[in-house]
Amino acid sequence: MPYTRDAACGYGKMEQHVNRGERFHMSGCGISLDISLWLSLENYQLTFVSGEGGVGVRVAIIYRLHPTKKNGLKAADFFKEFSGFVDSLATNSGHLLILDTEKLYSDIMQVICDPYNKTFTWEVKKKQMGRKQREAGKILIEEFGLPITVDDFCQQLNELQKKILPANTVLLPGAENLIRHLHKHKVPIAVASGSHIEDTELKFTKYKELFSLFHHSVCSSSDPDITQGKPAPDCFLVAAKRFPNSPDTEKVLVFEDAVNGVEGALAAGMQVVWVPDANIDKGSLAERATLVLDTLEDFQPELFGLPPYGDQN
Ligand SMILES: O=c1[nH]cc([C@@H]2O[C@H](COP(=O)(O)O)[C@@H](O)[C@H]2O)c(=O)[nH]1
């Protein structure tokens, strides 16, 4: 698609070319798009794409410069400037696995790594996801050789989570629909998380009513009945036991994004729908999970003997 202006706006080039209020017009392949760019905050750019000629697109793309030594930006700048802004954009709870917190965790991990000039990676993240707080801290410290203790890690993590999670957490596509559907049809549902109960509450700050639809939540980092976090099966077994009729494990269906969580659910003898991030290498786990989906929006309840969407009864 040709631009009517020279400046191609690949992410790398955008840094050099964008000025406040600048507009691009792209056309070709029967599609015509208007892209307006402006620096809405000191270090971030907001892009609106709107379609013309029968193309119904209205997308807001938020772009932030990648923190480098050269531009002097740190991942922490993101939080300072951005949380209120994202909050105002994320008011559409209808649209927007349940909560999209993994990007926030990655930024928090990068802030903890920043003083030691280490770059947080998906390889390390994959090992941490779903784990209890202290176990996740141990992994970060060992993988990057950080000169801090697990207690230091937990203290920093808790401070950052309090600042970041309440305003910035948004629902992932398909999550709200699924929770309301199961609740409406009286299918008992619970949260089984690696987090501390306080973090789970921080994450649901904007979605208290939705959170109330869960019968209970098991939070591995603070629950006295959980000795081992994911990938151990404990949190899933305890979550199942706490339903009034304590269902047999093979009748429980788990929704997971973390590799550790899928391993835990399988070890508990449960069925598991895995919705992995695109950055996760699925490997042989994809064959062991009951079902692998790109998004919860693709979940079809009837495949598991549940009432289909749109069923009024
Ligand atoms: O990038 C990360 N993702 C996830 C975790 C860990 O995973 C938990 C979330 O697990 P769950 O998805 O089961 O709630 C977090 O509390 C944290 O301990 C982490 O440390 N770093």
**Which residue has its alpha carbon closest to ligand 1 atom 15?**
195
CB 189 within 8 A of CB 175: no
Query: For the chain, what is the radius of gyration of the CA atoms?
Result: 22
Q: Is 66-302 assigned to CATH 3.40.50.1000?
A: yes
Cα 48-54-57 angle, rounded to 5 deg: 25
Q: Ligand 1 centroid vs 169 CA: distance in angstroms?
A: 14
| Mutation pick for ligand 1 pocket among 123, 131, 165 (CB with most ligand atoms within 8 Å) | 131
Give me the helices (H) in the chain, please: 11-17, 75-89, 102-113, 122-128, 133-144, 150-168, 175-184, 197-203, 208-211, 234-241, 259-267, 285-288
| Range scoring the smallest mean pLDDT among 109-123, 159-173, 265-279 | 159-173
Q: Identify the pLDDT of residue 186.
A: 96
For residue 4, name the pLDDT band (cuts at 50, 70, 90). Answer: very low
For residue 233, how many other CB atoms are within 10 A of its CB? Answer: 19
pTM over 0.90: no
CA dihedral (8, 110, 167, 215) positive or negative: positive
The percentage of the chain sitting over the pLDDT mark of 90, rounded to a whole number, equals 58
ipTM: 0.96
266-277 per-position pLDDT tens digit: 999 999 999 999
The percentage of the chain sitting over the pLDDT mark of 70, rounded to a whole number, equals 71
Q: Please give the average per-residue pLDDT across 134-147, as a whole number.
A: 98
Contacts of 47 (CB under 8 A, 6+ apart): 35, 36, 37, 60, 61, 62, 63
Q: Please give the average per-residue pLDDT across 301-312, as a whole number.
A: 90
Q: Please give the average per-residue pLDDT across 9-26, as a whole number.
A: 40
* Residue 50 in this model has a pLDDT that exceeds 70: no
Q: Ligand 1 centroid vs 104 CA: distance in angstroms?
A: 10
Sort residue 72 into left (φ over 0), alpha (ψ -120 to 50) or beta.
left
Q: Which atom of ligand 1 is nearest to the CA of 195?
A: 16
Nearest to 193 by CA among 254, 151, 273, 110: 254
Contacts of 262 (CB under 8 A, 6+ apart): 254, 256, 272, 274, 285, 288, 289
Q: Any residues with Cβ below 6 Å from ligand 1, and which?
A: 102, 105-106, 109, 125, 128-131, 133, 136, 193-195, 199, 258, 261
